[in-house]
Structure 1
Amino acid sequence: MIIRSLLDTDLYKFSMMQVVLHQYPGAEVEYRFKCRNPGVDLVPYIDEIRGELEQLCTLRFTADELDYLRSWRYIKSDFVDFLGLFQLNAKYVEITPSDRANGEIEIRIRGPWLHTILFEVPLLAIVNEVYFRNTQPQLDLSVGRERLAAKIALLRETPGYADCRIADYGTRRRFSRAWHEEVVTTLRDQLGPQLAGTSNVALAKQLGLTPLGTLAHEYLQAHQALGPRLRDSQVAALEAWAREYRGDLGIALSDVYGLNAFLRDFDMYFCKLFDGTRHDSGDPFAWGERVLAHYRANRVDPRSKILVFSDGLDIPQVMKLYAHFQGRCQLAFGVGTNLTNDVGPMPLQIVIKMVRCNGQPVAKLSDSPGKNMCDDAAYVAYLRQVFEIPAEAGG
């Protein structure tokens, strides 16, 4: 059994789920899976993935886990009470071979947002582990341990980086649950305060680390169907978040419509209200410079704000970004696949993205081509027009 606890997911799933319970309990959504690696045949593992899904749907939150969640300042007691009754239901998930008959598989999650939001991260972890335990059954993890040791040494021993801190963001694309636990335990023991925490709630609880995360793209995408009018959907999403958390969990995600559209909406009110912003696509150096300039233009001292970098990072890139922005703002770095699936074989680049909400298509038009998963070309064109996104930008 790969997933053994419903806490074995990323923190932002719980923070978003609480907003859904309180503000959008009737929303209906659809998610779809995509593997970006060409030529990967996942069809032989469908039955195994389905079996793991069935086991995932037997899990319930334990009393100890609920007490842990209840101890967080920003989690409301009624949400924890709801989780005490919660159980995932496999009826909302369909796993089939692709009609293209090319080895790809289709995973569709359809149902109430409140009852499907927790599927994404454990399902991705299941696909990863099923694939690698079948294709690499005798893999020697000594390569992974050597690479991890080199990363730790680089960060810990390079002069000038004692205050550079990283966090584990690698649940979704990890090689295995056991390897993920070994990696984060090793980071905790050898990096000390240079490990800021982990996005994985189960490991945070188990290892005494800080759980980290705020919101994901799906939250802002859903507001394309939940907000007042489309042009105001980003503002509506940020306003709803502020109503829920009243200053907690104040990191805004900047790339659902690209940085230009984000900065148009992220006015002085939001600059002062939110603790910082997160980068997840496009050139991180150019992004950071523009965000810092935006803060200054809105009479906010950038040194009081946090820039969170989380797009495909490795340790050398973290260090370059730290050296570039150090002293000009507060910094945070979330490292995912490069920590939890750097053991030799090529990692899977797999995602599960929201594609519809309340029967309406939703999309992300980020600053990196290829990250959008909307199959409704007319809607994407309309979205570009509304948010003034050139056709050659995003993807």
Structure 2
Amino acid sequence: MSTFNPVIESLLDTDLYKFTMMQEILHSQPETQSAYAFKCRNRPTTPLASFQREIEAQLDHLCSLRFAEDELAYLGGLRFIKSDFVDFLRLFQLQRRFITVSVAAGRPDELDIRVQGPMLHCMLFEIYLLSIVNEVYFRQFPVDAALTIGREKLATKVALLKQFATQPPLRNPFIFFDFGTRRRFSRAWHEEMVRTLAQQAGTFMRGTSNVLLAKRYGLTPIGTMAHEYLQAFQCFGSRLRDFQKNALEHWVREYRGDLGIALTDVVGTDAFLRDFDLYFCKLFDGVRHDSGDPFEWGEKIIAHYQAMKIDPGTKQLVFSDGLTLERAFALHRHFADRARTGFGIGTDLSNDCGHEPLQIVMKLVACNGQPVAKVSDTPGKGMCEDVNFLNYLSDVFKIARQ
């Protein structure tokens, strides 16, 4: 009989922005109902449906976990986390009845994974689920061989960082963060990678999105908001046309100067910038890129700040879309004399072990019984299950239909 090997052993083993979004929802929209859907954008070498039983067992274990007191103390020590939210987490436990796993109808190789229920009790499932699917899937391959490849590639990346350090400095320094939790090869490799970079990457490595690893290695936890937060406001108390302004306004009221990086591509960057007026430009420290050409995006953002009579050098451009170190270096050279830059690097650090990574996501698809949508700057990265709502959204924001 095989021994059960849990993928998730701590509820702190997730990305910071799950907690920051959850806190704002607790304070402003605690009654919200939600629905999330899983999607794999590429074709795995082994059908994901063949791992259904193990994924379900991992979810059973996940839903038995509670936050430990030292974990709650760590969260409570972050200046933007409030005591009532910590008290809520002290009572919190994921509910197995809110998540279902089945073989997709008409697609026997694929999994249909759904999360449905109160948003406060559902939104934490995403990162845990994606980590579980990844690790269960990659356990089919010889672990030692994969880790050997991963270590060799990581050593090459450390050497690239040391070489980059010898180049003439630009106005703003090169900094990057680990954003690899959701698509990591395994929990053990993710921790080894973060520990190695924390020890060897000098001043370049500024933190990790993973709260458990930040706690464990004294790193800065990194993150603000994700697509689901802004998507939810498509159903909250305002005209659809004003949902982005409403979401950003709520964020500012909740965090009052902390966590000041806004996400730009829920309905495309152009539509975002039409809402990101002088008021928000001054209130937010910068913006994050997650789809579309990053060079074009950066030029648009800088031009927008200049049009608002704001010095782009006082703002930060955070890039987080499929980055490699080499790509991050190129973007830094292009922008760092005009704006502060930061780079959230995920899969290239946490799953560069010789096997093709899974391109898996879990996205909000409905809120309070109404459809919601993400319309990406990259075709194929958007997600909506209601074509009529998608068409309506596209008309309202004057964006091309995908």
TM range (shorter): over 0.9
Of 258, 266, 273, 1:248 maps to 258
Q: Please tell me whether the aligned partners of residues 227 and 237 of structure 1 are also in contact (alpha carbons under 8 angstroms).
A: no
The counterpart of 2:270, out of the listed 252, 260, 275, is 260
Kindly provide the CA deviation profile for residues 167-197 of structure 1, in whole angstroms up to 9, marking residues without a partner as x: 0000000000000000000000100211010
The structure-2 alpha-carbon separation of the partners of 1:149 and 1:161, relative to structure 1 and needing over 3 Å to count, comes to farther
Q: For 1:254 and 1:140, how far apart are their aligned partners in 2?
A: 35
CA offsets 1:92-143 (integer angstroms, 9 cap, x no match)? 0000011123310010000000001110001100000001102445534111
Q: Which residue of 2 aligns with 1:384?
A: 394
Question: Which residue of 1 is the match for residue 24 of structure 2?
Answer: 19
* Partner residue, 2:42: 37
Structure 1 CA distance, aligned partners of 2:115 and 2:64?
17
Equivalences for 1:1-395 in 2 at 5 Å?
A: 1-39=6-44, 40-136=46-142, 139-158=145-164, 159-160=166-167, 163-391=173-401, 395=402
Secondary structure at 1:6's aligned position in 2? coil
> Using the alignment, how far apart are the partners of 1:390 and 1:5 within structure 2?
42
Aligned partner of residue 32 in structure 1, secondary structure: strand
Counterpart residue type for residue 284 of structure 1: P
Distance 1:259 1:82 in 2: 35
Distance in 2 between residues matched to 1:301 and 1:204, nearest whole Å: 32
Structure 1, unaligned runs of 5 or more:
none
Runs (4+) of structure 1 exceeding 2 A deviation are: 134-140, 158-163
Distance of 2:294 and 2:237 partners within structure 1? 29
3-state secondary structure, aligned to 1:94: strand
Moved more, 185-194 or 159-168: 159-168
| C-alpha contact (below 8 Å) 2:15/2:223 kept by paired residues | yes
2:295 alignment partner, SS class: helix
Amino acid at match of 2:9: R
State the one-letter code of the partner of 2:167.
G
Considering only aligned residues, what root-mean-square deviation do their CA atoms show, in Å? 1.1
Q: Which consecutive residues of structure 2, in runs of 5 or more, have no partner in the other structure?
A: 1-5
- Bigger drift between 3-12 and 161-170 goes to 161-170
Whether the aligned pair in 2 keeps the contact of 1:355 and 1:374 (CA below 8 Å) is yes
Name the amino acid aligned to 1:19: E
Instruction: For residues 349-389 of structure 1, give each alpha carbon's deviation from its aligned partner in whole angstroms, at most 9, with x where no partner exists.
Output: 10000000001010011110001221211111100000010
Whole-angstrom CA distance in 1 between matches of 2:64 and 2:232: 28
Amino acid across the alignment from 2:399: I
What is the identity, as a one-letter code, of the residue corresponding to 1:279?
A: H
Tell me: CA distance 1:160–1:78, structure 2 relative to 1, closer, same or farther (3 Å).
same
Q: How many residues align?
A: 392
Q: Contact 2:176–2:342 (CA<8 Å) still a contact in 1?
A: yes
Equivalent-residue separation in structure 2 for 1:245 and 1:31 (angstroms): 26
With over 3 angstroms needed to count, the CA separation of the structure-2 counterparts of 1:199 and 1:164, relative to structure 1, is same
Deviation of the 1:166 alpha carbon: 1.0
* Contact kept? 2:375, 2:383, Cα under 8 Å: no
CA distance in 1: counterparts of 2:202 and 2:29, whole angstroms: 40
TM-score, with length taken from structure 1? 0.97
The sequence identity of aligned pairs, in percent, is 58
Deviates more, 1:206-215 or 1:32-41: 32-41
Q: Give the Å deviation of 1:226.
A: 1.0
Counterparts of 1:375 and 1:136, CA distance in 2: 37
CA distance in 2, matches of 1:160, 1:81: 48
TM-score by length of 2: 0.96
Classify the secondary structure of the residue corresponding to 2:318: strand
How far has the Cα of 1:152 moved from its partner?
1.3
Distance in 2 (CA, whole Å) between partners of 1:146 and 1:316 is: 16
Corresponding residue of 2:3: none
Aligned-partner SS, 2:109: coil
Between 228-237 and 155-164, the greater mean CA deviation after superposition: 155-164
Residue identity in the other structure for 2:107 = A
Query: Quick one: which amino acid aligns to residue 103 of structure 2?
Result: P
Amino acid at match of 2:328: V
CA contact (8 A) 2:184 2:351 kept: yes
